Structure 1
Amino acid sequence: MDMVENFRINALRVIQTELHVLINLGDHNQRFIEDNGGYRNFELLAAPKHSQTLSKAISEVKSLTQMAETLFGDLNCVHINHAISSLRWWTEGHGQKWSDLKSRSVALRNAIDNELKEYLYYQYPKFKGQKLGSHETDWKLQSPLSQRSRSMQ
């Protein structure tokens, strides 16, 4: 179980790092587009550099959303699931804009941050965990009902 938990922590760090990169990428490229004529500058949008950068971003978003689904799927959290779907939608060729990449990446980052604050995690030492497993037996021996039943015998 330790390895699974460590994997989840590492996967969370990767997701957070990748979201940070996508947010910065979206912001930088949106500013570049705006400074060079906006989305009406078809020459800029058709340039190989723009197409390659967009293709790499789409690939990265697909990979990131798959990893996020794997990591957070068991939480059944509507906010995170919606943010993942929203970010994935950006990859489906609906006239991708860099500002949309940024805002959808921020939405996923915020959903993860806010939702994980609702969960409490603590790893107890093994002997305490084993003690927790024996609580039914301990309570049964100490409960007033079990003491009365012993005194009646």
Structure 2
Amino acid sequence: KKLGAVSLPDELKATTRLVRTEWSKQGKKARKALAHCHEQAGVEHFHDLRKASQAYGMHLGLMRSLWPSAMRAKRADAKRLVSILGHEHDLSVLAAVADREPDRFGNGERLALLLDAIIERQQALRAEALELADEVFSGLARKEGRIVGLLWRQAAK
């Protein structure tokens, strides 16, 4: 696969540090996006959380051989979170189109019903996403990074 093109340090200690550090950075980025969603609940914040969740899921997939059962379970939750956030984003796009081109959706009453339905469903999806994201990203970034680093070092022996 494309991993053959990845350049990692030759020394195990340096590679372990790199893996641990990058894993921790990704976790911090995800938790920052999650905090913004809790604080401000803006469209862009949920989109950032979706991107961070996608990256986390990819990292879990790359590292699945280190601890298959744990990585598989965490990845399933990350994928579910990405799916929920994807549906939420689709509704944001639909709302933006309805706002920009209201004539496409019929009379004012029909548009109002559509926007009410979008808002109601978005609120439900956001609540579900936040609850799941709180679980997915509950581990401290540094702690999880250390665990992945230890697993990496053990697998290299």
* TM-score, with structure 1 as normaliser: 0.43
Give the number of the structure whose alpha-carbon radius of gyration is greater: 1
* TM-score, with structure 2 as normaliser: 0.42
| Structure with higher RCO (Cα < 8 A, 6+ apart) | 2
